[in-house]
Structure 1
Amino acid sequence: MGKPEIRFKGFTDDWEQRKLGEVIEDYVEKTTVENQYPVLTSSQQMGIVLQDDYFSGDRVSQSGNIGYFVIPRGYFAYRSRSDNDVFVFNRNDCIDKGSISYFYPVFKPSGVDSDFLLRRLNYGLETQLKIASEGTGQHVLSLKKFKNMTALFPSINEQRKIGEYFTRLDHLITLHQRKCDEVKTLKKYMLQKMFPQNGINVPEIRFSGFTDVWEQRKLGEMGSTFTGLSGKTKEDFGHGDAKFITYMNVFSNPIADLQMTETVEIDSKQNCVKAGDVFFTTSSETPEEVGMSCVMPENADNTYLNSFCFGYRPTEKFDLNYLAYVLRSESFRKEMTFLAQGISRYNISKNKVMEVEIPVPSLEEQSKVGRYFSNLDNLITLHQRKCNELRKMKKFMLQNMFPKD
């Protein structure tokens, strides 16, 4: 009845239309005492996980969980209620046996490859799911209606091939995401340890061979500020031969991304940015996000700064990578949060920022520290890019390794 566009060599038969009730079985077992099994939850991003892990280790109340459904390893569940007709089917690969809210019907595979079923249920059935769900506000999908839906299935051998392929792909995505998260955690830790805390003149961790005390210098003693774009209206943007560094570029990157610019007309009255300039955000919705900074890595013709940031131009020589990361260190970020003022929206004074001190080691040590953090960011980018590539590949293969129902 149907064939996918891409399939493994040796498989030519049509896929067979089957009711989901033919390939899954209800599983109803309920907990009889509180905390009989660890409480699980299901999310679109993480699958079925321990509830405590999903909520970042914060203890979630499990009182009253008598009568929760039991879900053994390898069995499936889905949240039966949705605000947007999106129903995600997940498998318990977490622990041997857990409990899950009665909002999650539990079922097990029957006569099908479990890895294949996991992908089959989460791709290509959106229209049927929307039709089968009921309700005007929050939609409900009963297990009975779910089992009456139909889907195309190949032979069990082809199912296994497809299931194995996507399992390997998911493992690669998980591996790179885990590596990315590990490097991010390391970076956060080293931003705390490789720059001196307030009142201390040496860092806890430093490269061998360096023993000199770090100076504490006010930013205002080592440079001056300048303003971003001024006197512009909405009509001035989106065209022209000049560019400007966007607010999100400054907010997101320790080193400015020169691809993350927008166009504006050339205006000789504006301040052009230069290599080594530092940009600071002046406003945000939370005090923790005020005064985020980035450094301009190189000269670029006719490039300005957006109007929601101010610039700082050092008059003394810095290693640019060092300057970028010392301004993202824990101690400096605490200073920015302390200086933030406001109620619904928080602002920071550039004059106050110029009064803040930063630690200044020798240029040689600056270079070592700056290169270290630059390498960490390159690793984060590498793993994140690989994750994104694999996710795109997975999306493409899901579209082409399953026939349209």
Structure 2
Amino acid sequence: MADQTKGKAPRIRFKAYGEPWADEKIGDVVAEKRRPIVLEDDQRYELITVKRRNEGVVSRGHLLGRDILVKNYAELKAGDFVISKRQVVHGATGIVPPSLDGAIVSNEYLTAVDSEKLLTEFLTIVASLPAMRRKFFLSSYGVDIEKLFFDADDWKKRTVTIPHVREQNRIGTFFRELDLFIALHQRKHANLKALKKAMLQKMFPKLDEGAPGIRFKGFQESWAEESVENAMENIANNSLSRANLNHRSGLAKNIHYGDILTIFGEVLDAQTDDVPLISSDAIVGKLSSTRLRDGDIVMADAAEDEAVGKCVELHNIGTQIVVAGLHTIALRPKNSFAPFFLGYYLNSDAFHTQLLPIMQGTKVLSISKSAIKRLRIRFPTDEVEQQRIGAYFYNLDLLIGQHARQAQKFRQIKVSFLDTMFL
């Protein structure tokens, strides 16, 4: 690629192309196409919808011809560009994927195919950009933003600035490959999250089970059972509100229940996770006796739903001062547990189902320290098995995070190129 500022051309383009981009009347370059069909009563047809925010063309199910009341339908082909006339101002445009080849649409949709001057793949990208989104809005009429209707004839009178189809094809291929990378990492991320959810259910036994359904080879002993009161001791928390915290400077980190519920995973890395700091050094001096250690558990004791009881196991504190904050219950194991085991076990359904009967409240649910003490925990007596379980889930989380970051990285790259490769 090369920077280019002369003539009518984007800032960045592929080196092989030097011709200026041309202003074209949309109606002269968009090849509208409609393939009317006669609906047969006993034939099944796949219908589509175009999602908002340029999220693509998707199936909305199958119907027999007799069940489709409005009969004015047309067939789609893979690669068609589709506009939802009633949702276009919300980004409801997209290209038909191969999986929906042969699906049908009503006359509420505008369909276009490749022309000599404009490829649908390129048009799909252009349609997602602010300049074209503005044209869609200006060519729509109505009072309510949710009920604006698209005037295709008015839109076709407007102009679009485009390169030759050879360059359009190269640009389309580039963004298609970027989308494939994004989709790949999103798919791996989703699959790993589903695997983690399944394994959290299978690798921790319920109270009436002697051992989990899935465990590592070499371990056969039944798991031990102990009350929370006998296995863990309480560490005092504080009631500092968000007004007493910041993310810039301070002598101590403070774990707020809201962050446990919405940001942190089962294991909190005190060095890398974004834990807020206590603004007043004077307050920190009064909390020194409640500082937490690696392996301590901090649980959210309030939430608007059954997420109450979600907790984190602390890791990698080092020399930092870390304390438990507002609406938390801090617990310290009395005996040694392998790193990460308790963090994942206490967040699993095997333990969390015990919390349901002790939740109190209506709009906001809460749990008490006294009620928590009566609950039971299950654990392997062999600390090596605990270690294997904790490490398995911790490494799984590292992979999940890695694919989330990769997907985000490619999304940011795409946004940057969308800004610099188009006019």
TM above 0.5: yes
What CA deviation, in whole Å up to 9, does each residue of 1:147-182 have, x standing for no partner? Answer: 233211101111111111011111111111111111
8 Å CA contact 1:227, 1:307 repeated in 2: no
Match of 1:130 among 125, 131, 137: 137
8 Å CA contact 1:242, 1:303 repeated in 2: yes
- What aligned pairs does 1:147-296 form with structure 2 within 5 A after superposition? 147-230=156-239, 232=240, 235-238=243-246, 240-251=250-261, 252-258=264-270, 259-264=273-278, 265-266=280-281, 267=283, 268-270=285-287, 271-287=290-306, 289-296=307-314
What CA deviation, in whole Å up to 9, does each residue of 1:287-336 have, x standing for no partner? Answer: 2x111111110335232222022211111111121111111222223223
Partner of residue 56, structure 1: none
CA pair 190-201 structure 1, distance change in 2 beyond 3 A? same
Q: Pairwise CA RMSD of aligned residues? A: 2.5
8 Å CA contact 1:245, 1:260 repeated in 2: no
Distance 1:210 1:326 in 2: 18
Deviates more, 1:4-13 or 1:143-152: 143-152
Distance 1:65 1:71 in 2: 19
8 Å CA contact 1:279, 1:293 repeated in 2: yes
Distance 1:241 1:31 in 2: 74
Report the Cα offset of residue 31 of structure 1: 6.5
Match of 2:46 among 24, 38, 45: 38
Report the Cα offset of residue 30 of structure 1: 5.9
Distance 2:370 2:294 in 1: 22
Report the Cα offset of residue 107 of structure 1: 2.9
Distance 2:152 2:114 in 1: 14
8 Å CA contact 1:134, 1:140 repeated in 2: yes
Deviates more, 1:136-145 or 1:217-226: 136-145
Distance 1:209 1:152 in 2: 67
Distance 1:20 1:247 in 2: 54
Corresponding residue SS for 1:209: coil
8 Å CA contact 1:246, 1:260 repeated in 2: no
Distance 2:136 2:20 in 1: 24
Q: TM-score, normalised by structure 1?
A: 0.89
CA pair 393-234 structure 1, distance change in 2 beyond 3 A? closer
Q: Does 1:325 align with 2:337?
A: no
Report the Cα offset of residue 262 of structure 1: 1.6
Corresponding residue SS for 1:186: helix
8 Å CA contact 1:22, 1:110 repeated in 2: no
Report the Cα offset of residue 184 of structure 1: 0.8
CA pair 203-150 structure 1, distance change in 2 beyond 3 A? same
Partner of residue 127, structure 2: 121
Q: TM-score, normalised by structure 2?
A: 0.85
CA pair 200-38 structure 1, distance change in 2 beyond 3 A? same
Corresponding residue SS for 1:32: coil
What CA deviation, in whole Å up to 9, does each residue of 1:38-62 have, x standing for no partner? Answer: 1222223742122259xxxxx9xx9
Corresponding residue SS for 2:161: strand
Q: Does 1:380 align with 2:400?
A: yes
Distance 1:128 1:82 in 2: 14
- What aligned pairs does 1:17-32 form with structure 2 within 5 A after superposition? 17-28=23-34, 29=36, 32=39
Match of 2:76 among 71, 76, 87: 71
Deviates more, 1:272-281 or 1:219-228: 219-228
| Structure 1, unaligned runs of 5 or more | 54-58
Corresponding residue SS for 2:127: helix
Match of 1:144 among 147, 153, 159: 153
Distance 2:237 2:399 in 1: 32
How many aligned positions are there? 393
- What aligned pairs does 1:75-114 form with structure 2 within 5 A after superposition? 75-82=80-87, 85-93=89-97, 94-100=99-105, 103-111=108-116, 112-114=118-120
